Amino acid sequence: MTVIVLTNCPVGLRGFLTRWLLEISAGVFIGNPSARIRDVLWDEVQQYAGQGRALLAHTTNNEQGFTFRTHEHSWLPIDHEGLTLIRRPNAEATPRKDSDGPKPGWSKASKRRRFGRT
């Protein structure tokens, strides 16, 4: 079983994938191609994804029963003692939207509660 998920990719790439896989939702493709065809499809996805992101998950003979690959994705697969896990970006490294202070229009009580001021 093979699943490919595309985000913000060209429509032509989606049309290309429908030759071998079934699109069950917008940008989500599923099918059972051979390993050789799956690798060729993944190479095409990487080449034509543009600024989009892609994720490939497929069954394999390991302890988890599947593996996955990513393209231009902020969540990266890492190997941890034989298991493939996802490393998400550190949330504290990204600036908060309201780091400059409360938005205008908030009540004084809400501002105090939200930013810990008395």
Distance CA 14, CA 62 (A): 29
pTM exceeds 0.95 for this model: no
Distance CA 90, CA 31 (A): 33
CA 33 vs CA 10, 15, 39, 76, 83: distances in Å: 22, 16, 10, 24, 24
Which uninterrupted H or E stretch holds 83? strand 83-87
Contact 13, 4 (CB under 8 A): no
> Max alpha carbon distance in the chain (Å)?
64
Q: Does the pLDDT at position 22 exceed 90?
A: yes
pLDDT digits 0-9 by tens, 28-63:
999 999 999 999 999 999 999 989 999 999 999 988
How many other CB atoms sit within 10 Å of the CB of residue 25? Answer: 8
Residue 98 confidence (pLDDT) = 54
Residue 100 confidence (pLDDT) = 62
pLDDT digits 0-9 by tens, 59-108:
999 889 999 999 998 888 888 888 888 888 886 665 555 556 655 666 77
